[in-house]
């Protein structure tokens, strides 16, 4: 029996659950998750390997109007991922339905060379009427091949989606080893974990102005302990105070939550040291975007 493989671009509006869905399919966290829109900033790759089959998922930033250079970069990443893939997975939120921004994105997909499969997500939270309305609207698009209703949160119908996507994989090589689940370097994964915890804990006005850079990851004590030095960048002096918190309480909370996940990722005890620096308007500065890995 021949080996089948291929690349799948995951695309959709902000906050429809793309990263949660990819983490579910891969079987572990490779893309950070937050209830805040546009959490994903880079293209993140997740690899699903099964007997005779390998599917490589490209999780893209949520598609929204660009408001700064970082937004323009994110938009470019999302659309570039549609080129040269075997399949496009369009994700919609059943609870909010197919909105104007979803319809605009669907129009852009109309001319895509790759077949489009749609996932109507958040079925666990939506009513039957909401689910049916989303299905009907996607069906009327005329070019969406298969529509799968599922819940990335509970895993409901995930296998049905895998089956739909695998039908579009072509005879080809196994691109990555069996045990590889992402292409993200360790340093990037660590930075993203810190950013995820900051997003979880901070108030509405701060998160999109946050970037995280990891200066050093180094082992000591014979490899039993790893030092991680990271800096949280924000755009305003007032935000720095919020991130640090009274007597450093907020920064300690961020560090404690992040350290737990980083230790799980690296498999060793971690000494995490966090700093906070102000870089005014960094989302519009190419040099800082490059420094933080948005290239």
Structure confidence at residue 268 (pLDDT): 84
pLDDT tens by residue, 65-76? 445 555 565 555
pLDDT tens by residue, 257-283? 999 888 877 778 999 999 998 887 777
Across the strands, what pairs with 211?
A: 233
Tell me which residue of 141, 46, 136, 140 sits closest to 149, measured CA to CA: 136
The domain limits of the chain are: 4-171, 186-291
Matching residue, tokens 């990037």: 188
**DSSP alpha helix (H) spans, 68-221:** 69-80, 100-109, 128-140, 158-166, 186-201
Contact 60, 31 (CB under 8 A): no
Tell how many helices (H) and how many strands (E) occur in the chain: 9, 10
* pTM (predicted TM-score): 0.63
pLDDT tens by residue, 250-261? 999 999 999 988
Tell me which residue of 93, 86, 56, 89 sits closest to 160, measured CA to CA: 89
- The DSSP H or E segment spanning 227 is strand 225-234
- Contacts for 144 with CB less than 8 Å, ≥ 6 apart: 90, 106, 116, 117, 118, 138
Cα angle vertex 47, ends 44, 49, to 5°?
Answer: 175
Contact 121, 152 (CB under 8 A): yes
Is CATH 3.30.300.20 the classification given to domain 186-291?
yes
CATH topology for the 4-171 domain:
Rossmann fold (3.40.50)
pLDDT tens by residue, 137-168? 999 998 998 999 999 999 999 999 999 999 99
């Amino acid at each position: 029996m021949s080996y089948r493989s291929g690349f799948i671009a995951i695309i959709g509006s902000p906050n429809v659950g793309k990263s949660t869905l990819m983490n579910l399919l891969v079987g572990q966290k490779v893309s950070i998750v937050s209830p805040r829109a546009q959490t994903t900033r880079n293209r993140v790759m997740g690899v699903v390997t099964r007997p005779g089959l390998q599917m490589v998922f490209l999780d893209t930033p949520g598609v929204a109007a660009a408001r700064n250079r970082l937004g323009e970069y994110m938009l470019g990443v999302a659309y570039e991922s549609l080129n040269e893939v075997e399949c496009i997975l369009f994700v919609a939120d059943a609870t909010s339905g197919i909105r104007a921004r979803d319809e605009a994105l669907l129009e852009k997909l109309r001319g895509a060379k790759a077949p489009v499969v749609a996932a109507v997500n958040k079925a666990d939270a939506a009513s039957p009427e909401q689910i049916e309305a989303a299905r009907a609207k996607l069906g009327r698009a005329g070019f969406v091949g298969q529509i799968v209703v599922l819940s990335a949160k509970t895993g409901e119908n995930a296998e049905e989606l895998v089956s739909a996507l695998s039908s579009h994989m072509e005879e080809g090589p196994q691109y990555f080893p069996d045990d590889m689940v992402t292409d993200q370097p360790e340093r990037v994964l660590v930075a993203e974990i810190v950013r995820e915890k900051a997003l979880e804990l901070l108030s509405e006005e701060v998160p999109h102005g946050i970037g995280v850079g990891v200066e050093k990851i180094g082992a000591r004590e014979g490899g039993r302990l790893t030092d991680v030095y990271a800096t949280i960048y924000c755009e305003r002096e007032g935000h720095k105070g919020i991130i640090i918190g009274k007597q450093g309480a907020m920064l300690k909370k961020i560090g404690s939550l992040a350290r737990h996940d980083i230790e799980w990722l690296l498999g060793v005890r971690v000494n995490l040291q966090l700093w906070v620096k102000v870089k005014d308007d960094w989302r519009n500065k190419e040099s800082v975007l490059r420094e933080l890995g948005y290239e």
